[in-house]
Every structure is written in structure tokens, then in C-alpha cells.
Amino acid sequence: MIKEENLVYRRTPLMTDATLSYCPGCGHGTVHRLIMEVVEEMGIQQDTIGISPVGCAVLAYDFMDVDFSEAAHGRAPAVATGIKRLWPDKFVFTYQGDGDLAAIGTAETIHACNRGENICIFFINNGIYGMTGGQMAPTTLEGMKSSTTPYGRDAMKMGPPFKITELIAQLPGTHYVTRHAVHKAGLVRKAKKAIRKAFEIQQEKKGLAFIEFLSNCNSGWKMTPNDSNQWLEEHMYPFYPLGDIKVDGKLVKDVCKDLMQKSPVTT
Amino acid sequence: MAKAKGAIVVDVERCKGCEVCVVNCPTDVIGMTEQVNTKGYHYAYMKYPENCTGCTNCAVVCPDGAITVYRVKPQ
């Protein structure tokens, strides 16, 4: 049975042979692979330029076999803007975590989205600063424990969690805004379709495509990978619901209501 | 209708033993070995190979892309 003609799934050759630096079970690896599978299917390896963030995915250029540029912390959309304007026919994407995109890079993200730069932004949300040791991020849920909120995030002191995806969906420049997860096979297949759609939007020069991926951070959350995926479903889904938010430049959800939603307190 | 027969090949050195494939397998084929690889992780293997249908669910959720899937259609 183990023959070339029976092969139905193999790791895409666009992922390099380097061992991923992520913790076991981390969603980053899956998203990397999905992006590269889409690039492979579309045959655009020579024309794709990625921008890696600062955070766990800082070494993304080691793992994805396409051209890459590193940006200062949070500035990936600004670097992507420059590259895309110089080479309008290249496919430019940024790959950012929640500390990079939703904290230090908020200004760059919002302005790139508002200008409607013709790029793709892939945003990995695990509700924590994973790389530096699990500190509280803007996306940390209320009541969620992190190394800087050992008694849980208190919204009175630290503010409520930040839904940047719903926020940028309201800007005129974004064409496609959606939220996905990658811990189950069905969700992975849906996420891949969304990535394909994002690259096609860029090909047709329609505007900015923004995809948020909910991911676990089992090391930061101090759980086993499967427990953390379950925790993600129980606690992150209610506040960060999966699904399309903006399709073809039109909102498909009541984002104002979503933005005003009070975070359920998790313990 | 006869079920398709499948098989997986796990890249032992790439597997980090996260067990996400184990819960995603609809036919409970995958188990974790007692032995460890050179990094010290227990790695996935086909515990019940006769049940595998080659659905690729384990491979698409594997964060490290350690799984290759083969499938033959019933004759």
C-alpha cells in the first residue's frame, strides 16, 4: 500500500526541512503548512513574499520556502505596504500573532486596513504572549490566568479583551474578514479555503483580506495540547465566534453588537 | 460498499507527541508508542492499522506535518 500511486496526503515541499520551533500541538505549524499548501496549489511560490512578525513566529522565514522579510515588532503591515506598492504583482502576506498585531502593531494594522492595501494579513490569536512566557495580551479573556495576571484578568484594572478583527471589519478598506480555528480536521479544511480566498482576492486586487486563526498555547496556558484545544472551544468560542465577518466588502454580522459584548469570565 | 483501506507513515523524528491526531482520528487507529524518539517524545503509530480508511484527518491537523497518508480504493 505504501506506494507513490496510493499517496493521498504528504507534507508540502514548500515547507522546509527545518524542525518547527513551536511547542508540540501548537496551531502555528498547521497555519504555516496551510499557507504553503495554498501557495503550492496556486503555483505562486516565485511570486510570494511573506512578512514575519516578532513573537513565536519570528522564525517563520526558516520554515516557509518563499521569500520573506522580517519586520520590527508590530510593523509587518507597514513593511508589507511598502513591498506591495513596489511590486504590485507579487503576493504579499503578513503573518502575525496577537501581541504583534493587536498590541504594539495596532496603529499599523488599523491604518493598513483603512487604506485597503492589497495584502493578506494572517493573525494568530492565542490570547497570550506565548514567546516571552505567557504574559497578558490585549486578547486575553477576562478572568484568564497568565503570568502577569496570576489571579485572572480583571477588566476593571486591565480593561476588557480586545476584538481587533471585529474592529477592522468596519473599516472601508477591508474586503474579506473572517475567523477560523485549526485544531480539528474539518476546521483546518475550512481555514484552508479561506486562505485560498484571501490570496485570490489579492490576485484580483480587490482589497485587504484579514483572517484570524484561534490557536491554543498549551505551554502558556499550562495544559496538554488536547486539553488546551478543549479549553479553546469552551472559553474562546463564546467571545471569539468562528465564521465570516465581512465578505465581498459587506458586513455579514452585527459587529457593533459583537464589539459591545461583555467577555464571559473564565477561570 | 467496501471501505477504502488506508495507511499512515509517521515521520518519527518530526513527531512531537502532541496527540492531536489521536483525538481527530474517526476510527481510533492511532496510538502513542512506549518508546521515544531522539528528542524524547512518544510518537504516533498505527495501533489498529486494519481500521484506517485513509481519510487524512490526522495528517491535516498535525502541526508538524509528520504524517503521510496512503489510500487504496476497494476493488
For residue B74, pLDDT over 90 is answered with no
Asked whether the beta carbons of residue A225 and residue B19 sit closer than 8 angstroms, the reply is yes
Q: What DSSP element (H or E) covers A140? A: none
Q: What is the CATH number of the domain that holds B15?
A: 3.30.70.20
Q: Are strands B67-72 and A7-9 parallel, antiparallel or unpaired?
A: antiparallel
Q: What DSSP element (H or E) covers A255? A: helix A255-260
Instruction: Give ∠ CA B67-A184-A212 in degrees, rounded to 5.
Output: 110
Question: Based on the number of CB atoms within 10 Å of its own CB, is A181 exposed (0-12), middle (13-18) or buried (19 or more)?
Answer: buried
Total of domains in chain B: 1
* DSSP one-letter string for A74-114: T-HHHHHHHHHHH-TTSEEEEEEEHHIIIIITHHHHHHHHH
Convert the pLDDT of each residue in A54-70 to its tens digit.
999 999 999 999 999 99
- Enumerate the residues of chain B whose CB falls inside 8 A of the CB of residue A11: 11, 65-66, 68
- pLDDT-based confidence at A226, cuts 50/70/90? very high
Q: Are A128 and A97 in contact (CB under 8 A)?
A: no
Domain ranges of chain A: 4-260
Asked whether the beta carbons of residue B69 and residue A226 sit closer than 8 angstroms, the reply is no
Beta bridge mates, A50: A68, A93
Q: What is the mean pLDDT of residues A132-156?
A: 94
Asked whether the beta carbons of residue A188 and residue B60 sit closer than 8 angstroms, the reply is yes
Q: Euclidean distance between the first and final Cα of chain A, in Å?
A: 48
For residue A261, pLDDT over 90 is answered with no
Does A8 contact B at CB distance below 8 Å?
yes
Asked whether the beta carbons of residue B60 and residue A229 sit closer than 8 angstroms, the reply is no
pLDDT for A190 = 97
Cell of B75: 476493488
Among B20, B6, B34, B27, which Cα is nearest to B65's?
B20
* DSSP one-letter string for A177-238: EEEEE-SSHHHHHHHHHHHHHHHHHHHTT--EEEEEEE---HHHHTS-HHHHHHHIIIIIHH
For residue B69, pLDDT over 80 is answered with yes
- Residue pairs between chains A and B whose CB atoms are closer than 8 Å: 90
pLDDT for A179 = 97
Average pLDDT, chain A: 95
For residue B42, pLDDT over 90 is answered with yes
- pLDDT-based confidence at A266, cuts 50/70/90? confident
pTM of this structure: 0.95
* A 219-248 residues inside an 8 A Cβ radius of B: 224-226, 229
Type of residue at B18: C
The residue to which cell 521569500 is assigned: A67
Asked whether the beta carbons of residue B63 and residue A20 sit closer than 8 angstroms, the reply is yes
The rounded distance, in Å, linking the Cα atoms of B59 and B45 is 12
Tell me how crowded residue A122 is: count the other CB atoms within 10 A of its CB.
27
Among A258, A82, A238, which Cα is nearest to A170's?
A258
**Domain A4-260 top-level CATH class:** alpha beta
- pLDDT-based confidence at B45, cuts 50/70/90? very high
* Lowest model confidence (mean pLDDT) among A35-39, A202-206, A259-263: A259-263
Phi, psi of A58 (to 5 degrees): -60, -30
Number of alpha carbons in the 13 Å side-chain half-sphere of residue A68:
16
For residue A121, pLDDT over 80 is answered with yes
- pLDDT-based confidence at A260, cuts 50/70/90? confident
- Enumerate the residues of chain B whose CB falls inside 8 A of the CB of residue A23: 16
- Calculate how close chain B gets to A23, using CA atoms only, in Å: 8
Whether the complex's predicted ipTM is more than 0.90 is answered with yes
Q: What is the mean pLDDT of residues B17-33?
A: 96
Q: What is the mean pLDDT of residues A84-112?
A: 96
- Enumerate the residues of chain A whose CB falls inside 8 A of the CB of residue B9: 2
Beta bridge mates, A125: A214
Convert the pLDDT of each residue in A71-81 to its tens digit.
999 999 999 99
The rounded distance, in Å, linking the Cα atoms of A119 and A131 is 26
Q: What DSSP element (H or E) covers B27? A: none
Q: What is the mean pLDDT of residues A29-35?
A: 97
Does A188 contact B at CB distance below 8 Å?
yes
- Calculate how close chain B gets to A147, using CA atoms only, in Å: 23
Q: What is the mean pLDDT of residues A158-172?
A: 94
- Calculate how close chain B gets to A158, using CA atoms only, in Å: 33
**Domain extent at residue B47:** 5-72
- What percentage of chain A exceeds 90 in pLDDT? 94
Q: Are strands A48-52 and A67-70 parallel, antiparallel or unpaired?
A: parallel
Dihedral over alpha carbons A160, A188, A70, A57 (to 10 degrees): 70
